[in-house]
Structure 1
Amino acid sequence: MVDVKLLGLWYSPFSHRVEWALKIKGIEYEYIEDDLHNKSSLLLESNPIHKKVPVLIHNGKPICESMVIVEYIDETFEGPSILPKDPYDRAIARFWAKFLDDKCIPLLGKVLFGKGEEAEKSKEEFGGLLKILDNEFKDKKFFVGDNFGFADVAANFMAFWFGILEEASGVVLATSEKFPNFCAWRDEYINRSQVKEYLPSRDVLLAHFQSRFQSPI
């Protein structure tokens, strides 16, 4: 029997990426919720460099970083492919996954949690990233044509968590007037039947992040 454990966090988009990949492949796994304010010894032993979730433990061996884990799952287990078969399409999928993780997510953090001039500058820069994504979705439904896959799993944050964070913080960044293609992609993404089953409750997530924004720093 395959021994698969996932150390995760219920509100983390990165943890949900890995759960999504496991479910696509039909893999049974043990989910272990961790506490980032009181990190378990298993987490610290399994990811001593970054000390964060998610961590996949497969037959006693840990793998870290969400999209690295998704690729590992895709390559290791039988089932529907997550990465495209075509080498060019595979490269494009990896490019957009890296763009989302390296550019979009860190900058959004500066927009929402930065102060004064830094926040305003970050907001302007983030608008530039949304423009890039808006142009990308001008003539297609997903990152690699009409096929939902690796880059779209990576995009769960921008498609789902981003809108919740906008509402929780009161900072609106993406409107259909300014970014019609991006917003249409986001709506299409969330409303696809094969996506809905992998997303957590919007109401529960919203309540969680509203409490975070309302808490005194």
Structure 2
Amino acid sequence: MGEPVKVMSTFGSIYGHRPEVALRLKGIPYELLLEDLPNNKSELLLTCNPVHKLVPVLLHGHRSICESLIIVEYIDEAFKGPPLIPADPYERATARFWAQFIDQKFARPFWMSICMADGDKEEEEDFLKVAKENLLLLEGQLKGKRFFGGDSIGLVDIAASGLARWLEAFEEISGVDLLTDEKFPALNRWAKEYAGDEHAKECLPNKDELVAKFTAVRKKFQAMAEVPK
């Protein structure tokens, strides 16, 4: 029996999905510890991630690992099973580049756009224009491949998992059709493949529940923005 593995997360977290799917791909059993964020952070979370005080956190025995992409790399190195990151140095560096690109250009901006109250339309149009340009770059990376890493889910696919479920929620909340099949056929096909994978679908949040949560979050921020100062 190996050391116990636990994942600290919260419902609907793009980042929290990443260690879960990585562990499932490796066939590693784990316990999911859901935090009530942002106002009721547990002492365990504050102890295990004293710097950022955020999820996800991987607990492996007495060790705690923070930051979702770092956690995925740790899981790949610490546990046996299908590799998630290429062994070749150049391919590994390339995978890390695209994973960081996705984090910087999609995960954080989309989350911020969901949380923001209705803002300047020109600013929103600029955001969507840049998003489409970045999606085209990712579309090119899927040419001739089932997943970003080839025939199986790897680091880049895990980083991009937000495009397979969270983007649907964003589109419904905002009323914007961003990932259209006409402009992004490869990404649309990839999103269906990822969401249908036996390991990924077990830890993807329900879309309707995700929409409900993010709608409530957005209304909260809108109400805060309307309070006279």
TM-score (norm 2): 0.84
CA distance in 2, matches of 1:176, 1:21: 28
The alpha carbon displacement at 1:22 in A equals: 1.8
> C-alpha separation between the residues in 1 aligned to 2:156 and 2:23?
16
**Matching residue's letter, 2:133:** G
Q: Could you list the runs of 5+ residues in structure 2 that have no partner in the other structure?
A: 224-229
Check 1:88–1:54 CA distance in 2 against 1; reply closer, same or farther (3 A cut).
Answer: same
Same amino acid, percent of matched pairs:
45
Q: Which runs of 4+ in 1 moved over 6 A?
A: none
- Structure 1 residue ranges without an equivalent (≥5): none
The answer to whether the Cα contact below 8 Å between 2:164 and 2:195 also exists between their aligned partners in 1 is yes
Measure the CA separation in 2 of the matches of 1:61 and 1:191: 32
Deviations 1:53-92 (A, max 9, x none): 0011222221100110111111112222221233332222
Q: What's the offset of the Cα at 1:214? A: 4.5
Aligned: 1:130 with 2:135: yes
Query: Are residue 173 (structure 1) and residue 169 (structure 2) matched?
Result: no
Matched, 1:120 2:146: no
**Are residues 1:199 and 2:201 paired?**
no
Give the Cα separation in 2 of the matches to 1:80 and 1:181: 24
Name the counterpart of 1:11: 12
- 151-160 or 178-187, which deviates more: 178-187
Alignment-derived partner of residue 157 in structure 1: 162
Higher relative contact order (CA 8 A, sep 6+): 2
2:23 corresponding residue in structure 1: 22
- Cα pair distance change 1:26/1:110, threshold 3 Å: closer
**Deviation of the 1:144 alpha carbon:** 2.1
Partner-residue secondary structure (3-state), 2:12: coil
Counterpart check, 1:60 vs 2:62: yes
> Given the superposition, is the C-alpha separation of residues 46 and 195 from structure 1 closer, same or farther in structure 2, using an over 3 Å criterion?
closer
Answer whether contact 2:168 2:207 (CA < 8 A) is retained.
no
Alignment of 1:71-82 (within 5 A): 71-82=73-84
- Following TM superposition, by how much is the alpha carbon of 1:129 offset from its aligned partner in structure 2, in angstroms? 0.7
* TM-score normalised per structure 1: 0.88
Matching residue of 2:89: 87
Query: Counterpart of 1:182?
Result: 187
- 2:25/2:199 contact within 8 Å kept: no
User: How many angstroms apart in 1 are the aligned matches of 2:168 and 2:157?
Assistant: 16
| C-alpha contact (below 8 Å) 2:110/2:170 kept by paired residues | no
Deviates more, 1:204-213 or 1:77-86: 204-213
CA distance in 2, matches of 1:51, 1:128: 33
